[in-house]
Amino acid sequence: MAKTKQKQKPKPKPKPKPSKAIARPKPKPRVKAHPPARAKRPVNASGPAARERVERPSAGSPASRGKLGRVRMPPTQSSSARPEVDVEPEDSNEGKYVYCIIKSERPLSFGPLGIGVEPAHCRTVHYRDIAAVVSNTPMVVQDPTRDNVLAHQRVNETVMQQHTVIPMSFGTVFKTHDDIMELLRSAYEAFTDVLNKMQDKFEFGLKVLWDRDQIIREIEEEDEDIRRLEGEISSQKGSTYFARMQYGRLIDAALQARSERYVLEIFETLRDVSVASRSNKPIGDRMIMNAAFLVARDTEQAFDARVKEIGSRYDMLTFKYTGPWPPYNFVNIRLKLERAH
């Protein structure tokens, strides 16, 4: 029996979809909208990457050979703290930027020195005989721009002129006055201990650089094996591949040994005029030493004279000597903060 072929109904044409305008997503605001509850916060920057300071330009070059002069920080707007009488009201849209911790029983005002397009007014928040130096700031993540970092340093340097300071990490923001009180209460013993140890002490930075090519020429003149290999490579007698490899290894080893010798001699020379020292990672190929020294107020002149003596002794090296600074490299407190109830 023959099958009858059924006709299929034509499919309806799909209706064109209305075009939709593509809406661009709005950027999310960078808001830190939580108080420091059960959060670990470093009290100060404690590594070269986090703590690398923006050094202010001076009238002369900060690095010199032979005669060595310290790069001193220019005087700030105001070095005297005034009594603070009025307490600023809380603003739900603003937080408190914390610059440092000091010993003080009375409220103080340091004037408009803080972070902001218009420099923010800096004052103290107290617990017992210690205080945090703070300014109002929007509850946003502070970008480490040059202006912001310089403002952070400016406040610490101003306060340091009359007080021993524990510098806080850049960008430390608390939501309320009570949060700062909780910080001071929970770490009171640690803060007091560090403030006592750091009393009348400052940090000085010393970076040492060299001309690598000049040092290599000196090594070639002094080392007979290196001089022989360099001669073989220059004259191109036979295959020079292995000679070049051996030459490179000998040069690297000689540079490393000479660098370590210079650094050790400099540290040893400054040992008896400093309280402590810290070696940070050198930056770039030319730098062989990146150190910080903790110096007592009564030995500052002796330390300064010793650094100048080193500068004249090593005329083949370039020195960059800065300070005084707050003790950024010598304070490292990490706190576990509980929510204030």
Cβ atoms within 10 A of the Cβ of 255, count? 16
Q: What does R_g of the chain's alpha carbons equal in angstroms?
A: 30
Indicate if the alpha-carbon torsion angle 25, 28, 29, 30 is positive or negative: negative
- Which helix (H) or strand (E) segment holds residue 125: the answer is strand 121-127
Say if residues 170 and 49 touch (Cβ distance below 8 Å): no
Condensed to tens digits (0 to 9), the pLDDT of residues 267-314 reads 999 999 999 999 999 999 899 999 999 999 999 999 999 999 999 999
In the chain, the percentage of residues whose pLDDT exceeds 70 is 69
Q: What is the mean pLDDT of residues 93-109?
A: 93
Q: What is the mean pLDDT of residues 127-133?
A: 97
pTM over 0.85: no
Indicate if the alpha-carbon torsion angle 161, 175, 35, 338 is positive or negative: positive
Rounded CA-CA distance 114/43 in Å is: 18
- Amino acid making up residue 138: P
Pull the structure tokens for residue 100: 């440092």
Most confident segment among 45-49, 91-95, 234-238, 286-290: 286-290
pLDDT over 90 (residue 240): no
Rounded CA-CA distance 308/204 in Å is: 13
Q: Which residue, 83, 128, 133, is CA-closest to 105?
A: 128
Rounded CA-CA distance 209/259 in Å is: 10
What are the DSSP calls for 21-88, one per residue?
PPPPPPPPP-B--S--TT-EEESS--SHHHH---PPP-SS-SEESSS---BPPPP-S----EE--SPP
Rounded CA-CA distance 315/14 in Å is: 85
Rounded CA-CA distance 195/15 in Å is: 77
Q: Which residue, 238, 158, 233, 185, is CA-closest to 36?
A: 185
Query: At 63, is the pLDDT very low, low, confident or very high (cuts 50, 70, 90)?
Result: very low
End-to-end CA distance of the chain: 92
- Amino acid making up residue 329: N
Pull the structure tokens for residue 87: 């307490």
In the chain, the percentage of residues whose pLDDT exceeds 90 is 55
Put the strands of the sheet holding 201-210 in their side by side order: 63-64, 317-325, 201-210, 287-296, 276-280
Query: At 16, is the pLDDT very low, low, confident or very high (cuts 50, 70, 90)?
Result: low
Q: Look at 57-61, 72-76, 145-149 and tell me which has the smallest mean pLDDT.
A: 57-61
Q: Which residue, 72, 120, 130, is CA-closest to 96?
A: 120
Rounded CA-CA distance 270/267 in Å is: 5
The three-state secondary structure class of 183 is helix
- Amino acid making up residue 14: P
**Burial degree of 240 (CB within 10 A; 0-12, 13-18, 19+):** middle
Rounded CA-CA distance 23/14 in Å is: 26
Query: At 10, is the pLDDT very low, low, confident or very high (cuts 50, 70, 90)?
Result: low
Residue 320: its pLDDT value, please?
Answer: 96
pLDDT over 80 (residue 141): yes
